[in-house]
Amino acid sequence: MRRAAALIVGGGPAGASAALTLARAGAMPVVIDRAPGERDVVCGGFLGWDALAQLRRLGLDPLALGARPIHRLRLVAGTRVVETALPETAAGLSRRRLDATLLRLAEEAGAAVLRGRTARAVEERSVRLEDGETLDADALFIATGKHELRGAARPIEGRALSVGLRAAIPAPPDLAGTIELHLYDGGYAGLLVQEDGAANLCLSVAQARMADGREACLAALMREAPLLAERLGGVPPNEWEAIAGVPYGWRAKATEAGVYRVGDQAAVIASLAGDGIAVALASGAAAAQACLHGDGTGARLYQRDFARRAARPVRVAEALRHMAEHRGERRLMMGLAKMSGLARLAARLTRIS
């Protein structure tokens, strides 16, 4: 059995942000991640201005990594298109590039990063790995994102869940500088150009729409979103990264002593708002600060305070998601989006900072 002062399970943006903050303060955190190396994950790759500011504070310049600046939002519903300027510059960057760079920075700051190690279960602050090893920690950070950990699963029963899909496609020329969102019943598809010049295509779909299988669902979406079908040349990609059971709107309001939930394990903002990465970075840093400066009650205070901090962006994002996912309200939303002041206000109200 090994012991760590701070053990972080999951090396996505939340876990890496916590690790970096702890390591730079002189703590020697241990991060475990089940991925053996760089990989694509289900994510739109949209970095809002709050995420960009946080990344810069962590010492990472997304533009130097090749992130493509984004200035405009294009909303598409059926054949109707509305375009509006974003209040501030955002950017498109693949999660492959972002996650690998954040973890490398954490390692350089002194964190031990154990790749290809999967946590199977947790009991208090003791984590059992797939290979049978047990890691004990004074402070445990649960940063497994969209994945549940046995013994610490989020209580999300009874929620309407969504499925996320992600693929890369050739970028259409008029996508440069734009985040394009195609709205349909139960979800949306997001498109942006990432650092390698390909377009990152990410779909969020109500899990109930997948009842007849992925192919049938995609075929129906192509009919409902003809301009998206056009982008895909009429044929959806064959290869997708996929994740099920996404509980939009969920927030952790309590925790146990010494256990910090960060990222999607702390709050799941509707992905349509494009602020999940910012929430992950902010929660990771806040939890690490609480751990460094708090007494034994640090974890509970952090969790309560972060739930409050995330309340407004999560609620506003839920309201927007509801409008976008239902046909009648979608029409109203498209009309409102034409009023650039309102669109900019909605974009601002869904930021965590």
Ligand X SMILES: Cc1cc2nc3c(=O)[nH]c(=O)nc-3n(C[C@H](O)[C@H](O)[C@H](O)COP(=O)(O)OP(=O)(O)OC[C@H]3O[C@@H](n4cnc5c(N)ncnc54)[C@H](O)[C@@H]3O)c2cc1C
Contact (Cβ atoms closer than 8 angstroms) between residue 88 and residue 49: yes
CA distance 163 to 159: 13
For the beta carbon of residue 88, count every other beta carbon within 10 angstroms: 15
Contacts with ligand X, 172-211, as mask; x by CB under 6 A: ------------------------------x-x-------
| Tokens coding 247 | 């509980």
Applying CB under 6 A, among 246, 286, 316, 343 the residue interacting with ligand X is: 246
Residue 10 binding ligand X, by CB under 6 A = yes
Among the listed ranges 21-29, 32-40, 230-238, 328-336, the one in contact with ligand X (CB under 6 A) is 32-40
In angstroms, rounded to a whole number, what is the distance separating the alpha carbons of residues 218 and 190? 14
Tokens found for residue 125:
């602050």
- Residue 264 lies near ligand X (rule: CB under 6 A): yes
Question: Is 274 a binder of ligand X (CB under 6 A)?
Answer: yes
Q: Does 325 bind ligand X (CB under 6 A)?
A: no
What x-and-dash track marks residues 62-101 binding ligand X by CB under 6 A?
----------------------------------------
Q: Looking at 25-93, list the stretches that DSSP marks H as alpha helix, in order from N- to C-terminal side.
A: 49-57
Please select the residue that binds ligand X; options are 34, 115, 304, 326, rule is CB under 6 A: 34
Q: Among 75, 119, 290, 347, which residue interacts with ligand X (rule: CB under 6 A)?
A: 119
Q: Which token pair is 115?
A: 């790749």
Tell whether residue 271 is a contact of ligand X (CB under 6 A): yes
Span of 56-64, 232-240, 272-280, 295-303 interacting with ligand X by CB under 6 A: 272-280
Shortest separation between residue 127's beta carbon and ligand X, angstroms: 8
Q: Which is nearer to ligand X, 27 or 103 (CB)?
A: 103
In the complex with ligand X, the residue whose CB is nearer, 48 or 298, is: 48
| Options 7-15, 18-26, 168-176, 286-294: segment touching ligand X (CB under 6 A) | 7-15
**Number of shown-chain residues binding ligand X (CB under 6 A):** 39
For ligand X, the binding residues in 282-311 under the rule CB under 6 A are: none
Among residues 353, 352, 349, 340, the alpha carbon closest in space to that of 73 is found at 340
70 within 8 A of 89, measured Cβ to Cβ: yes
CB-based contacts of 192: which residues, under 8 Å, 6+ apart?
A: 44, 45, 46, 68, 70, 92, 175, 178, 179, 180, 199, 200
- Which two tokens mark 254? 């309590």
* Binding test (CB under 6 A) with ligand X, winner from 30, 46, 101, 109: 46
Interface residue with ligand X among 4, 7, 8, 15 (CB under 6 A) is 15
- Cα angle: 189, vertex 58, 180; to 5 degrees: 15
Can you name the residues that pair with 70 across neighbouring β-strands?
90
Q: What is the spatial distance between Cα 4 and Cα 334, in angstroms, rounded to a whole number?
A: 51
Residue 247 interacting with ligand X (CB under 6 A): no
DSSP per-residue letters across 71-86: EEEEEEETTEEEEEEE
DSSP H stretches of helix in 58-135: 95-109
Binding site residues, ligand X, CB under 6 A: 9-15, 32-35, 41-46, 51, 118-119, 143-147, 149, 164, 202, 204, 246, 263-264, 271, 274-278, 280
